[in-house]
Homo-oligomer: A and B are copies of this chain.
Amino acid sequence: MQDLLKQIQIRVNEKIYLKDPETSELGKRIIQESIRMIDEIGLESFTFRKLSEKLGTTESSVYRYFENKHKLLIYLTSWYWGWQEYRLVFNTANISVPEERLRIAIRVLTETASYDDLFPHINTQILNKIVICESSKAYLTKEVDQEKKMGFFAGYDRLCERISEMVLKVNPLYKNPHTLVSTIIEGIQRQKYFIAHMPSFTDILKDGEELTLFFTRMALIMTKSNGKNE
């Protein structure tokens, strides 16, 4: 099983990069170190110059992989959502009770996965922190419409679609599966941020079971409530 899984690679839309970072040593180091660095100093202060200095390479070498740091951010978040999709599929395989599947889906989204040794150059735990703090900057731009069309957010899209389907399995009459699911996914990230930095916006003291319960309840109760309480 381990050996089989070693073949797995998270696919990312080719248009996001100039050269696939998975195909070279330098490419992998760019990913590895940029995750560390963005987490440490924040996206705003992060530059390709600083990154290349840390890597002992040059700016122009980094530019051969990514057009700019915006594309790199899109790459990292796309990879993350691709990885989450893989975790979702893996964890819900062989579970047939719709409600149970949905519960597991929310758990996959809320639980901070520990280091995933299938991807040794990607620290998924730190990457999750980046997703919490920086991922919305990837689409809150003037270029969204084109980038959406080019499929830059397709990974996130697929994840949202899969969970929406699970919602519909629980209640085929439910009218707003996508709205609910995207509100929950975004809400999870935001609440994790509030817990860490703006505690007056939440009642939850630390990232953990309570957060999972809150969003699990939201998912189930909304899904099953169709049409009532208007």
Size bracket of the A interface: 35 or more
Contact with B along A200-230 (1 / 0, CB 8 A): 1111100000000110111011100100111
Contact status of A179 and B214, CB under 8 A, knowing A148-B197, A187-B187: yes
Q: Are B144 and A198 in contact (CB under 8 A)?
A: yes
Which label, helix, strand, loop or mixed, suits the secondary structure of the A interface?
A: helix
Q: Oligomeric state, in number of copies?
A: 2
Which residues of the partner chain B approach A182 to less than 8 Å between Cβ atoms?
190-191, 194, 201-202
Which residues of the partner chain B approach A157 to less than 8 Å between Cβ atoms?
200-201
User: Once bound together, how far apart are the Cα atoms of A222 and B213, in whole Å?
Assistant: 12
- Confirm or deny: A91 has a beta carbon within 8 angstroms of a beta carbon on chain B: no
Q: Are A221 and B213 in contact (CB under 8 A)?
A: no
Contact with B along A129-147 (1 / 0, CB 8 A): 0000110110111101100
- The residue of chain B having its C-beta at the shortest distance from the C-beta of A188 within the complex is B183
Q: Are A160 and B222 in contact (CB under 8 A)?
A: no
Can you name 17 A-B pairs with beta carbons within 8 Å?
A44-B141, A144-B197, A148-B198, A157-B200, A160-B200, A161-B200, A176-B203, A176-B204, A176-B214, A178-B201, A178-B202, A179-B191, A183-B183, A217-B222, A217-B230, A218-B218, A221-B221
Question: With A161-B200, A183-B218, A187-B187 given, can you name 4 additional A-B contacts, CB distance below 8 Å?
Answer: A156-B201, A179-B202, A183-B190, A217-B230
